[in-house]
Structure 1
Amino acid sequence: MPDRVLPCYVVFDESCSMADHMDSLNTGLRELTGTLLGEPSIAGRTRLCVIGFAETARIVTPLSTPGTGPARDGRAIGTETNFGAAFAVLRETIERDVEALRSASCAVHQPVVFFLSDGQPTDPAAWPSAHAGLVDPGWAARPRIVAFGIGDADMTTIARVGTHGAYLSTGDLTPRDTVREFTAALAGSVVASGAAELTVPRQVSGFTALETDAV
């Protein structure tokens, strides 16, 4: 039997309010790739996709083996923070990716999503429905979501987004260091998971862990 593949999705807010965080995020994602490449047995069983969102959502790096996809551009692209767009594109992308992996005779673990935003959703009436579709218990490919909120992110919203972990920044670190802690936690979680069961860190420097209802 072939090793199971773990699809990992990094979904981040790239509205204008995130502009000051983009360099740190780019650096952190490069370090994430480097960390995974330093663990060949994990990297070989992990696939990584990066999705950014503002008014709309876009696939920045399609699902691929770490280190083989294109590097993301370091720019903020909009003024809105449309959570619903992110969740809708994420569901479509996961569905397509999982089907492609299975068509290639890969066994697939339940996908994992790491979500990052520094603001509150600008579509408060619409995003819960899109989120519900993403985490629908009747959908076999539904992902496990770990959500991180920084800056002006709302505690209740971040806790609702995360199904298997949620964290809110405490303000004790600089924005640069806060984003670096996010990517470090992401890398540590993937490596500790061994491309199998999701391992969520109990503590992340500069963040408070929030209560979530696992789906």
Structure 2
Amino acid sequence: MGNMYEVQPIYEQVYANDNDYYVMPFYIVCDVSGSMSGGPLASLQKVVPAIKSEMFNQPTLGDVLRISVIDFSDDAEVLVPMTNLMQTEVPVFSIKGGTSFAAAFKLLRQQIPKDIARLKASGQRVYRPAVFFLTDGGSTGWETAFKELTAYDDETGAGFRQYPLVVPMGIGDANKVTLQQLCWPRHVSRLYMARDSNNVAEAVNEMAKVMAATVVSTGNSSLEGKPRHELPTAEDLGDGVVISQYDGGDEM
């Protein structure tokens, strides 16, 4: 597995009680706008089962992985609250309206503190969340909501201390320039773009592989006592996915 990263000081600010392992929360955030109808939607239905299957292959991952599933279009909805995915039903995605990144970011900003508090209340040590953000299109007016989700000043404490690692995933007509700006933190995250923009259904399958690989490796890092987010490289994934990082400046 490639691109391991040991947490930087700001990332060491986890939310802890005293258990053996850190719980590693993940949010699977999926675009269900009209352009995802047909084959892409059918492939989307297989994303969560693919991750669940990998977890069943290593049952101890259920001790450390907690996953929530969110869909978004004009608005956003929690389909699966933060849970042990091995103990819940697979969600059913349905096509809705347009595409609003802001709706997804606002919901994440609301949910993350609630989910962390609930996990801590059950005696869990909680690591910084990670978000898989899967879309086949673009959006406007998302910048303020994204800043509220991700901005944090370690020196002053201003902003959202529980900000997540955001891993954007582009398929179909997704805008690479926009999605690169969603890589957060920018020195850590990666953008995963499907190489074949015409076969959206297969592209969803490729992104499911990225998610499963990341979840499994990250969960194993916690079980090994060295928790970290571990993102796959091109060598891990093959030719179906192109990986890049944000290559602009830091101004938002």
Structure 2 contact 172–197 (Cα < 8 Å) conserved: no
Residue in structure 1 matched with residue 69 of structure 2 by the alignment: 50
Residue in structure 2 matched with residue 108 of structure 1 by the alignment: 126
Residue in structure 2 matched with residue 154 of structure 1 by the alignment: 175
Corresponding residue to 2:82 among 63, 70, 84: 63
Q: Residues of 2 paired with 1:186 and 1:173: CA distance?
A: 21
Residue in structure 2 matched with residue 211 of structure 1 by the alignment: 245
Equivalent position SS for 1:5: strand
Deviation at 1:9, TM superposition (A): 0.3
How does 1:17-166 map onto structure 2 within 5 Å? 17-20=35-38, 21-78=40-97, 80-121=98-139, 124=140, 126-137=141-152, 138-163=159-184, 164-166=189-191
Instruction: Sort the Cα spacing of 1:173 and 1:33 in 2 relative to 1 into closer, same or farther, 3 A.
Output: farther
> What one-letter code is carried by the residue in structure 1 that aligns with 2:246?
T
Q: Residues of 2 paired with 1:68 and 1:15: CA distance?
A: 28
CA offsets, 1:76-135, max 9 Å, x none?
Answer: 111x100000000011111110011111121100001111000011xx1x2111011111
In the TM superposition, structure 1's runs of 4+ consecutive aligned residues that sit over 3 Å from their partners are: none
Q: Residues of 2 paired with 1:43 and 1:165: CA distance?
A: 25
Deviation at 1:7, TM superposition (A): 0.7
Equivalent position SS for 1:41: helix
Equivalent position SS for 1:201: coil
Structure 2 contact 183–245 (Cα < 8 Å) conserved: no
Q: Residues of 2 paired with 1:172 and 1:102: CA distance?
A: 41
CA offsets, 1:58-77, max 9 Å, x none?
Answer: 00111100122332113211
Instruction: Sort the Cα spacing of 1:185 and 1:145 in 2 relative to 1 into closer, same or farther, 3 A.
Output: same
CA offsets, 1:136-186, max 9 Å, x none?
Answer: 224221110111011111111111112211122221773222111101111
Instruction: Sort the Cα spacing of 1:172 and 1:19 in 2 relative to 1 into closer, same or farther, 3 A.
Output: closer
Q: Residues of 2 paired with 1:51 and 1:40: CA distance?
A: 24
Larger radius of gyration: 2
- Paired residues in the alignment total 210
Q: Residues of 1 paired with 2:208 and 2:62: CA distance?
A: 16
> What one-letter code is carried by the residue in structure 2 that aligns with 1:199?
E
TM normalised by structure 1 equals: 0.92
Q: Percent identity among equivalent residues?
A: 27
Q: Residues of 2 paired with 1:57 and 1:199: CA distance?
A: 27
TM normalised by structure 2 equals: 0.79
Show structure 1 runs of 5+ residues with no match: none
